[in-house]
Amino acid sequence: MGYNVAVDGPAGAGKSTIARLVAKEKGYIYVDTGAMYRALAVHFLKKGIAPEDTQGIIEACGDADVSIRYENGIQQVYLNGENVTGMLRTEEVGNMASRTSAIPGVREKLLELQRMLARENDVIMDGRDIGTNILPEADVKIFLTASVETRAKRRYDELRSKGEDCDLEQIARDIAERDARDMNRETAPLKRAEDAVLIDSSDMTIPEVVSEICSHCK
Protein backbone atom coordinates (compact mmCIF):
# COMPACT_ATOMS: atom_id res chain seq x y z
CA MET A 1 0.00 0.00 0.00
CA GLY A 2 1.15 3.50 -0.75
CA TYR A 3 1.40 6.39 1.71
CA ASN A 4 -1.46 8.75 0.94
CA VAL A 5 -1.93 12.48 1.63
CA ALA A 6 -5.33 14.03 0.87
CA VAL A 7 -5.68 17.79 0.36
CA ASP A 8 -9.21 19.18 0.09
CA GLY A 9 -10.52 22.70 -0.10
CA PRO A 10 -12.50 25.22 -2.15
CA ALA A 11 -11.64 26.58 -5.59
CA GLY A 12 -8.68 28.94 -5.63
CA ALA A 13 -7.25 27.90 -2.27
CA GLY A 14 -3.93 26.98 -3.90
CA LYS A 15 -4.34 23.22 -3.48
CA SER A 16 -2.65 22.26 -6.74
CA THR A 17 0.32 24.59 -6.30
CA ILE A 18 0.85 23.50 -2.70
CA ALA A 19 0.36 19.78 -3.39
CA ARG A 20 2.91 19.86 -6.22
CA LEU A 21 5.49 21.48 -3.96
CA VAL A 22 4.84 19.02 -1.12
CA ALA A 23 5.17 16.15 -3.59
CA LYS A 24 8.55 17.48 -4.72
CA GLU A 25 9.70 18.02 -1.13
CA LYS A 26 8.63 14.57 0.09
CA GLY A 27 9.14 12.51 -3.05
CA TYR A 28 5.45 11.66 -3.54
CA ILE A 29 3.59 11.39 -6.83
CA TYR A 30 1.17 14.28 -7.29
CA VAL A 31 -2.24 13.20 -8.59
CA ASP A 32 -4.11 16.23 -9.89
CA THR A 33 -7.75 15.15 -9.68
CA GLY A 34 -8.95 18.60 -10.66
CA ALA A 35 -6.97 18.35 -13.89
CA MET A 36 -8.61 14.99 -14.59
CA TYR A 37 -12.09 16.48 -14.19
CA ARG A 38 -11.07 19.46 -16.29
CA ALA A 39 -9.86 17.11 -19.03
CA LEU A 40 -13.30 15.50 -19.08
CA ALA A 41 -14.79 19.01 -19.20
CA VAL A 42 -12.69 19.69 -22.32
CA HIS A 43 -14.17 16.50 -23.79
CA PHE A 44 -17.73 17.65 -23.08
CA LEU A 45 -17.05 21.12 -24.49
CA LYS A 46 -15.51 19.66 -27.64
CA LYS A 47 -18.70 17.67 -28.12
CA GLY A 48 -20.85 20.75 -27.55
CA ILE A 49 -22.75 19.20 -24.65
CA ALA A 50 -24.51 21.56 -22.24
CA PRO A 51 -23.60 21.06 -18.55
CA GLU A 52 -27.26 20.53 -17.67
CA ASP A 53 -27.53 17.64 -20.18
CA THR A 54 -26.78 14.98 -17.59
CA GLN A 55 -27.57 12.02 -19.83
CA GLY A 56 -25.42 13.42 -22.62
CA ILE A 57 -22.56 13.97 -20.18
CA ILE A 58 -22.77 10.40 -18.87
CA GLU A 59 -22.87 8.95 -22.37
CA ALA A 60 -19.88 11.08 -23.40
CA CYS A 61 -17.82 9.53 -20.59
CA GLY A 62 -17.91 6.27 -22.52
CA ASP A 63 -15.44 7.45 -25.16
CA ALA A 64 -13.19 9.56 -22.94
CA ASP A 65 -9.80 8.29 -21.82
CA VAL A 66 -7.97 10.54 -19.35
CA SER A 67 -4.42 9.83 -18.25
CA ILE A 68 -1.68 11.63 -16.33
CA ARG A 69 1.93 11.32 -17.42
CA TYR A 70 5.14 12.91 -16.18
CA GLU A 71 7.44 14.17 -18.91
CA ASN A 72 10.76 15.63 -17.76
CA GLY A 73 9.28 15.79 -14.27
CA ILE A 74 6.30 17.88 -15.38
CA GLN A 75 2.72 16.64 -15.23
CA GLN A 76 0.96 16.35 -18.58
CA VAL A 77 -2.73 15.47 -18.93
CA TYR A 78 -3.94 13.54 -21.96
CA LEU A 79 -7.45 13.18 -23.33
CA ASN A 80 -7.85 10.38 -25.86
CA GLY A 81 -4.15 10.61 -26.67
CA GLU A 82 -4.12 14.40 -27.05
CA ASN A 83 -2.14 16.56 -24.62
CA VAL A 84 -4.77 19.00 -23.28
CA THR A 85 -2.70 20.43 -20.41
CA GLY A 86 -2.71 23.92 -21.93
CA MET A 87 -6.51 24.00 -22.11
CA LEU A 88 -7.27 23.15 -18.51
CA ARG A 89 -7.01 26.50 -16.73
CA THR A 90 -9.55 28.54 -18.71
CA GLU A 91 -12.65 29.82 -16.91
CA GLU A 92 -14.90 28.02 -19.39
CA VAL A 93 -13.31 24.66 -18.63
CA GLY A 94 -13.24 25.36 -14.89
CA ASN A 95 -16.94 26.18 -14.77
CA MET A 96 -17.85 23.12 -16.88
CA ALA A 97 -15.76 20.91 -14.58
CA SER A 98 -17.42 22.36 -11.47
CA ARG A 99 -20.89 21.74 -12.87
CA THR A 100 -20.26 18.24 -14.22
CA SER A 101 -18.01 16.79 -11.50
CA ALA A 102 -21.04 16.25 -9.26
CA ILE A 103 -22.60 13.83 -11.76
CA PRO A 104 -22.16 10.28 -10.43
CA GLY A 105 -21.25 8.85 -13.82
CA VAL A 106 -18.43 11.37 -14.21
CA ARG A 107 -17.05 10.61 -10.76
CA GLU A 108 -17.20 6.85 -11.32
CA LYS A 109 -15.25 7.28 -14.54
CA LEU A 110 -12.23 8.63 -12.66
CA LEU A 111 -12.58 7.12 -9.20
CA GLU A 112 -10.98 3.73 -9.82
CA LEU A 113 -8.00 5.24 -11.65
CA GLN A 114 -7.38 7.59 -8.73
CA ARG A 115 -7.62 4.80 -6.14
CA MET A 116 -5.36 2.52 -8.17
CA LEU A 117 -2.66 5.21 -8.25
CA ALA A 118 -2.98 5.61 -4.48
CA ARG A 119 -2.78 1.88 -3.81
CA GLU A 120 0.39 1.47 -5.81
CA ASN A 121 2.30 4.68 -5.00
CA ASP A 122 3.07 7.25 -2.31
CA VAL A 123 0.77 10.01 -3.49
CA ILE A 124 -0.57 13.41 -2.57
CA MET A 125 -3.97 14.07 -4.11
CA ASP A 126 -5.99 17.27 -4.05
CA GLY A 127 -9.62 17.98 -4.80
CA ARG A 128 -12.99 18.56 -3.14
CA ASP A 129 -13.70 15.16 -1.56
CA ILE A 130 -10.39 13.27 -1.40
CA GLY A 131 -10.34 12.75 2.37
CA THR A 132 -14.09 12.20 2.70
CA ASN A 133 -14.78 10.02 -0.31
CA ILE A 134 -11.93 9.05 -2.62
CA LEU A 135 -9.23 8.22 -0.04
CA PRO A 136 -11.11 8.02 3.28
CA GLU A 137 -8.24 5.97 4.76
CA ALA A 138 -5.53 8.48 3.77
CA ASP A 139 -2.61 8.68 6.19
CA VAL A 140 -2.79 12.50 6.32
CA LYS A 141 -5.76 14.73 5.54
CA ILE A 142 -5.52 18.48 5.01
CA PHE A 143 -8.37 20.97 4.48
CA LEU A 144 -6.78 24.01 2.83
CA THR A 145 -8.84 27.17 2.56
CA ALA A 146 -8.60 30.96 2.27
CA SER A 147 -11.08 33.83 2.21
CA VAL A 148 -13.08 34.49 -0.97
CA GLU A 149 -11.33 37.86 -1.28
CA THR A 150 -7.87 36.28 -1.05
CA ARG A 151 -8.70 33.57 -3.56
CA ALA A 152 -10.24 36.04 -6.01
CA LYS A 153 -7.18 38.30 -5.84
CA ARG A 154 -4.86 35.34 -6.47
CA ARG A 155 -6.89 34.28 -9.50
CA TYR A 156 -7.05 37.87 -10.76
CA ASP A 157 -3.27 38.25 -10.49
CA GLU A 158 -2.75 34.91 -12.25
CA LEU A 159 -4.97 35.90 -15.19
CA ARG A 160 -3.49 39.40 -15.45
CA SER A 161 0.02 37.94 -15.51
CA LYS A 162 -1.05 35.99 -18.61
CA GLY A 163 -2.29 39.19 -20.24
CA GLU A 164 -5.98 38.29 -19.88
CA ASP A 165 -8.58 40.99 -19.28
CA CYS A 166 -10.62 40.19 -16.17
CA ASP A 167 -12.74 41.75 -13.44
CA LEU A 168 -11.86 41.17 -9.78
CA GLU A 169 -15.43 41.51 -8.51
CA GLN A 170 -16.76 39.08 -11.13
CA ILE A 171 -14.06 36.55 -10.21
CA ALA A 172 -15.06 36.88 -6.54
CA ARG A 173 -18.72 36.30 -7.43
CA ASP A 174 -17.81 33.25 -9.52
CA ILE A 175 -15.76 31.80 -6.66
CA ALA A 176 -18.55 32.36 -4.12
CA GLU A 177 -21.05 30.71 -6.47
CA ARG A 178 -18.71 27.78 -7.06
CA ASP A 179 -18.24 27.38 -3.29
CA ALA A 180 -22.01 27.21 -2.79
CA ARG A 181 -22.41 24.75 -5.64
CA ASP A 182 -19.58 22.50 -4.42
CA MET A 183 -20.73 22.52 -0.78
CA ASN A 184 -24.39 21.88 -1.53
CA ARG A 185 -24.19 19.32 -4.30
CA GLU A 186 -25.87 15.99 -3.59
CA THR A 187 -22.95 13.78 -4.55
CA ALA A 188 -19.68 14.05 -2.58
CA PRO A 189 -20.05 17.68 -1.45
CA LEU A 190 -17.08 19.78 -0.42
CA LYS A 191 -16.59 19.46 3.33
CA ARG A 192 -13.80 19.04 5.82
CA ALA A 193 -13.18 15.45 6.95
CA GLU A 194 -13.50 15.06 10.72
CA ASP A 195 -9.84 14.05 11.01
CA ALA A 196 -8.48 16.67 8.58
CA VAL A 197 -6.04 19.37 9.66
CA LEU A 198 -7.49 22.81 8.87
CA ILE A 199 -5.08 25.30 7.26
CA ASP A 200 -6.26 28.81 6.37
CA SER A 201 -3.69 30.23 3.96
CA SER A 202 -5.19 33.74 3.72
CA ASP A 203 -2.23 35.28 5.56
CA MET A 204 0.38 32.62 4.84
CA THR A 205 3.08 32.45 2.19
CA ILE A 206 3.35 29.42 -0.06
CA PRO A 207 6.53 28.17 1.66
CA GLU A 208 4.79 28.48 5.04
CA VAL A 209 1.86 26.36 3.87
CA VAL A 210 4.18 23.75 2.34
CA SER A 211 6.18 23.57 5.56
CA GLU A 212 3.03 23.21 7.65
CA ILE A 213 1.73 20.30 5.55
CA CYS A 214 5.13 18.59 5.42
CA SER A 215 5.27 18.70 9.22
CA HIS A 216 2.26 16.36 9.31
CA CYS A 217 3.72 13.88 6.79
CA LYS A 218 6.29 11.12 7.10
| Pairwise CA distance, residues 25 & 27, whole Å | 6
Residue 113: its pLDDT value, please?
76
Question: Which pLDDT does position 94 carry in this prediction?
Answer: 93
pLDDT tens digits along 34-82: 889 999 999 999 999 999 999 999 999 999 988 877 788 788 999 999 9
Among 69, 58, 61, 55, which residue's Cα sits nearest to residue 40? 61
pLDDT at position 189 is 87
The pTM (predicted TM-score) of the whole model is: 0.75
Mean pLDDT per 10-residue interval, the chain, length 218 residues:
94 92 92 89 98 96 86 87 95 94 90 84 90 95 97 94 94 94 87 96 96 97
Which residues are registered as beta bridge partners of 70?
75
| DSSP reduced 3-state for 197 | strand
- The 3-state DSSP class for residue 4 equals strand
Beta 66-71 vs 123-127: how paired, if at all? Answer: unpaired
Among 169, 138, 165, smallest CA distance to 153 is for: 169
